[in-house]
Amino acid sequence: MFDRIAGFYDVMNSVMTAGLHHRWRERAADLARLRPGDRALDVATGTGDLAVELARRVAPGGEVIGSDFSQGMLERARTKAPELTWEWGNALELPYPDDSFDAATVGFGARNFSDLDRGLREMARVVRPGGRVVVLEITTPQRPPLSTFFRVWFDRIVPLLGRLTGESLAYSYLPSSVRRFPAPEGLAAAMERAGLRDIRWILTAGGIIAIHVGTKQG
Protein backbone atom coordinates (compact mmCIF):
# COMPACT_ATOMS: atom_id res chain seq x y z
CA MET A 1 0.00 0.00 0.00
CA PHE A 2 2.77 2.49 0.93
CA ASP A 3 4.65 1.75 -2.29
CA ARG A 4 1.51 2.58 -4.26
CA ILE A 5 0.81 5.90 -2.55
CA ALA A 6 4.48 7.08 -2.47
CA GLY A 7 4.11 9.17 -5.65
CA PHE A 8 1.45 11.49 -4.26
CA TYR A 9 2.09 11.07 -0.51
CA ASP A 10 3.73 14.51 -0.06
CA VAL A 11 0.99 16.34 -1.97
CA MET A 12 -1.73 14.59 0.04
CA ASN A 13 0.00 15.53 3.31
CA SER A 14 0.06 19.17 2.32
CA VAL A 15 -3.57 19.13 1.17
CA MET A 16 -4.85 17.25 4.23
CA THR A 17 -3.00 19.44 6.74
CA ALA A 18 -2.97 22.78 4.85
CA GLY A 19 0.83 22.59 4.95
CA LEU A 20 0.94 22.45 8.76
CA HIS A 21 2.69 19.08 8.87
CA HIS A 22 6.08 20.81 8.38
CA ARG A 23 5.58 22.76 11.60
CA TRP A 24 4.66 19.57 13.51
CA ARG A 25 7.80 17.86 12.24
CA GLU A 26 9.92 20.81 13.38
CA ARG A 27 8.46 20.52 16.88
CA ALA A 28 9.05 16.76 16.93
CA ALA A 29 12.66 17.25 15.80
CA ASP A 30 13.18 19.89 18.52
CA LEU A 31 12.01 17.41 21.18
CA ALA A 32 14.74 14.98 20.09
CA ARG A 33 17.19 17.57 21.53
CA LEU A 34 19.93 16.76 19.04
CA ARG A 35 23.25 18.55 18.81
CA PRO A 36 25.79 18.95 16.01
CA GLY A 37 27.69 15.70 15.58
CA ASP A 38 24.87 13.49 16.93
CA ARG A 39 23.47 10.36 15.26
CA ALA A 40 19.72 10.04 14.78
CA LEU A 41 17.39 7.44 13.31
CA ASP A 42 14.00 8.21 11.77
CA VAL A 43 11.95 5.00 11.76
CA ALA A 44 9.16 4.48 9.16
CA THR A 45 10.63 7.55 7.50
CA GLY A 46 8.42 7.43 4.39
CA THR A 47 9.42 10.23 2.03
CA GLY A 48 11.84 11.48 4.68
CA ASP A 49 10.54 14.90 5.78
CA LEU A 50 11.18 14.27 9.49
CA ALA A 51 14.67 12.87 8.78
CA VAL A 52 15.49 16.04 6.82
CA GLU A 53 14.37 18.10 9.80
CA LEU A 54 16.64 16.05 12.11
CA ALA A 55 19.58 16.47 9.72
CA ARG A 56 19.44 20.26 10.17
CA ARG A 57 20.01 19.77 13.89
CA VAL A 58 22.98 17.34 13.75
CA ALA A 59 25.02 19.34 11.19
CA PRO A 60 27.90 19.71 11.01
CA GLY A 61 29.43 16.30 11.56
CA GLY A 62 26.33 14.32 12.49
CA GLU A 63 24.46 11.52 10.75
CA VAL A 64 20.79 10.78 10.14
CA ILE A 65 19.48 7.47 8.87
CA GLY A 66 15.96 7.25 7.48
CA SER A 67 14.62 3.70 7.62
CA ASP A 68 11.47 2.25 6.04
CA PHE A 69 10.17 -1.02 4.62
CA SER A 70 8.69 0.59 1.49
CA GLN A 71 11.19 0.94 -1.35
CA GLY A 72 8.78 3.29 -3.14
CA MET A 73 8.84 5.70 -0.19
CA LEU A 74 12.64 5.43 0.15
CA GLU A 75 13.08 6.26 -3.54
CA ARG A 76 11.21 9.54 -2.99
CA ALA A 77 13.30 10.31 0.10
CA ARG A 78 16.53 9.67 -1.83
CA THR A 79 15.50 12.06 -4.56
CA LYS A 80 14.58 14.69 -1.98
CA ALA A 81 17.77 14.49 0.09
CA PRO A 82 20.50 12.38 -1.53
CA GLU A 83 22.99 13.50 1.14
CA LEU A 84 21.19 11.54 3.88
CA THR A 85 21.38 7.77 4.42
CA TRP A 86 18.21 5.92 3.45
CA GLU A 87 18.00 2.24 4.39
CA TRP A 88 15.44 -0.52 4.10
CA GLY A 89 14.42 -1.77 7.54
CA ASN A 90 11.52 -3.27 9.45
CA ALA A 91 10.63 -1.13 12.46
CA LEU A 92 9.77 -4.27 14.43
CA GLU A 93 13.27 -5.68 13.92
CA LEU A 94 15.62 -2.74 13.44
CA PRO A 95 18.93 -3.75 11.84
CA TYR A 96 21.06 -1.65 14.25
CA PRO A 97 23.04 -2.48 17.39
CA ASP A 98 21.90 -1.49 20.89
CA ASP A 99 22.67 2.05 22.08
CA SER A 100 23.80 3.30 18.66
CA PHE A 101 21.79 6.55 18.24
CA ASP A 102 21.33 9.73 20.27
CA ALA A 103 17.66 9.82 19.31
CA ALA A 104 15.08 7.84 17.36
CA THR A 105 11.92 9.38 15.94
CA VAL A 106 8.81 8.14 14.20
CA GLY A 107 6.34 10.42 12.41
CA PHE A 108 2.85 9.17 11.50
CA GLY A 109 4.31 5.65 11.44
CA ALA A 110 3.72 4.16 14.89
CA ARG A 111 0.00 3.68 14.25
CA ASN A 112 0.92 1.43 11.33
CA PHE A 113 3.09 -0.89 13.43
CA SER A 114 1.40 -4.27 13.62
CA ASP A 115 2.85 -4.55 17.15
CA LEU A 116 3.19 -1.10 18.79
CA ASP A 117 4.96 -2.37 21.94
CA ARG A 118 7.54 -4.17 19.88
CA GLY A 119 8.17 -1.15 17.62
CA LEU A 120 8.67 1.11 20.66
CA ARG A 121 10.95 -1.46 22.32
CA GLU A 122 13.07 -1.54 19.19
CA MET A 123 13.37 2.26 19.09
CA ALA A 124 14.34 2.31 22.78
CA ARG A 125 16.87 -0.49 22.24
CA VAL A 126 18.84 1.30 19.50
CA VAL A 127 18.98 4.60 21.45
CA ARG A 128 21.82 5.14 23.94
CA PRO A 129 21.04 5.58 27.64
CA GLY A 130 19.98 9.21 28.07
CA GLY A 131 18.89 9.37 24.40
CA ARG A 132 15.38 10.31 23.31
CA VAL A 133 12.54 8.54 21.55
CA VAL A 134 10.00 10.84 19.87
CA VAL A 135 6.61 9.79 18.50
CA LEU A 136 4.63 12.22 16.31
CA GLU A 137 1.13 10.94 15.66
CA ILE A 138 -2.45 11.87 14.89
CA THR A 139 -4.74 11.48 17.86
CA THR A 140 -8.51 11.60 18.25
CA PRO A 141 -9.69 14.81 19.95
CA GLN A 142 -12.17 14.08 22.73
CA ARG A 143 -14.12 17.34 22.99
CA PRO A 144 -16.26 19.35 20.57
CA PRO A 145 -15.92 21.37 18.43
CA LEU A 146 -12.68 19.68 17.32
CA SER A 147 -14.05 16.17 17.76
CA THR A 148 -16.92 17.01 15.39
CA PHE A 149 -14.62 18.63 12.84
CA PHE A 150 -12.26 15.63 13.11
CA ARG A 151 -15.08 13.14 12.42
CA VAL A 152 -16.26 15.04 9.35
CA TRP A 153 -12.72 15.59 8.06
CA PHE A 154 -11.44 12.08 8.59
CA ASP A 155 -14.56 10.06 7.92
CA ARG A 156 -15.88 12.05 4.93
CA ILE A 157 -13.32 14.41 3.36
CA VAL A 158 -10.13 12.31 3.62
CA PRO A 159 -11.68 9.19 2.03
CA LEU A 160 -13.11 11.45 -0.70
CA LEU A 161 -9.67 12.93 -1.40
CA GLY A 162 -8.32 9.39 -1.40
CA ARG A 163 -10.85 8.40 -4.06
CA LEU A 164 -9.52 11.21 -6.26
CA THR A 165 -6.05 9.67 -6.08
CA GLY A 166 -7.43 6.25 -7.05
CA GLU A 167 -6.23 4.80 -3.73
CA SER A 168 -9.44 4.90 -1.72
CA LEU A 169 -8.39 1.91 0.41
CA ALA A 170 -5.28 3.71 1.73
CA TYR A 171 -7.24 6.81 2.67
CA SER A 172 -10.06 4.98 4.38
CA TYR A 173 -7.42 2.92 6.20
CA LEU A 174 -5.99 6.19 7.58
CA PRO A 175 -9.00 7.17 9.77
CA SER A 176 -9.45 3.62 11.01
CA SER A 177 -5.77 3.35 11.95
CA VAL A 178 -6.05 6.62 13.90
CA ARG A 179 -9.11 5.34 15.78
CA ARG A 180 -7.32 2.13 16.75
CA PHE A 181 -4.29 3.99 18.07
CA PRO A 182 -4.12 4.62 21.83
CA ALA A 183 -4.99 8.03 23.31
CA PRO A 184 -2.01 10.12 24.55
CA GLU A 185 -2.07 8.54 28.04
CA GLY A 186 -2.12 5.05 26.52
CA LEU A 187 0.80 5.80 24.23
CA ALA A 188 2.75 7.21 27.19
CA ALA A 189 2.10 3.95 29.08
CA ALA A 190 3.31 1.93 26.07
CA MET A 191 6.49 4.03 25.95
CA GLU A 192 7.06 3.34 29.62
CA ARG A 193 6.64 -0.39 29.01
CA ALA A 194 9.32 -0.03 26.34
CA GLY A 195 11.79 1.16 28.99
CA LEU A 196 11.48 4.91 28.51
CA ARG A 197 11.19 7.41 31.37
CA ASP A 198 10.35 11.12 31.86
CA ILE A 199 7.63 10.75 29.25
CA ARG A 200 5.76 13.89 28.31
CA TRP A 201 3.70 15.00 25.36
CA ILE A 202 2.39 18.09 23.71
CA LEU A 203 -0.90 18.36 21.89
CA THR A 204 -1.12 20.74 18.98
CA ALA A 205 -3.42 21.59 16.06
CA GLY A 206 -6.33 21.84 18.50
CA GLY A 207 -5.60 18.40 19.98
CA ILE A 208 -5.40 16.47 16.72
CA ILE A 209 -1.63 16.00 16.83
CA ALA A 210 0.30 14.49 19.76
CA ILE A 211 4.08 14.58 20.05
CA HIS A 212 5.46 12.30 22.77
CA VAL A 213 9.04 12.17 24.01
CA GLY A 214 10.71 9.77 26.43
CA THR A 215 14.28 9.23 27.61
CA LYS A 216 16.05 5.88 27.76
CA GLN A 217 17.10 4.97 31.28
CA GLY A 218 20.83 5.09 32.06
Ligand X SMILES: C[S@@+](CC[C@H](N)C(=O)[O-])C[C@H]1O[C@@H](n2cnc3c(N)ncnc32)[C@H](O)[C@@H]1O
Candidate list 53, 64, 84, 107; residue touching ligand X; CB under 6 A:
107
Q: Does 175 bind ligand X (CB under 6 A)?
A: no
Considering the complex, state which of residue 66 and residue 214 has its C-beta at the smaller distance from ligand X: 66
Instruction: Map residues 37-76 to x or -, x wherever contact with ligand X holds by CB under 6 A.
Output: -------xxx--xx-----------------xxx--x---
Considering the complex, state which of residue 44 and residue 188 has its C-beta at the smaller distance from ligand X: 44
Smallest separation, CB 20 to ligand X (Å): 13
Considering the complex, state which of residue 46 and residue 141 has its C-beta at the smaller distance from ligand X: 46
Considering the complex, state which of residue 44 and residue 199 has its C-beta at the smaller distance from ligand X: 44
Considering the complex, state which of residue 11 and residue 130 has its C-beta at the smaller distance from ligand X: 11
How does DSSP assign the chain, residue by residue?
-HHHHGGGHHHHHHHHHTTTHHHHHHHHHHHT---TT-EEEEET-TT-HHHHHHHHHHTTT-EEEEEES-HHHHHHHHHH-TTSEEEE--TTS-SS-TT-EEEEEEES-GGG-SSHHHHHHHHHHHEEEEEEEEEEEE----STTHHHHHHHIIIIIHHHHHHHHT-HHHHHHHHHHHHHSPPHHHHHHHHHHTTEEEEEEEEEGGGTEEEEEEEE--
Number of residues that bind ligand X (CB under 6 A): 18
Candidate list 96, 101, 108, 171; residue touching ligand X; CB under 6 A:
108
Query: Where do contacts with ligand X occur on this chain (CB under 6 A)?
Result: 2, 44-46, 49-50, 68-70, 73, 90-92, 107-109, 112-113
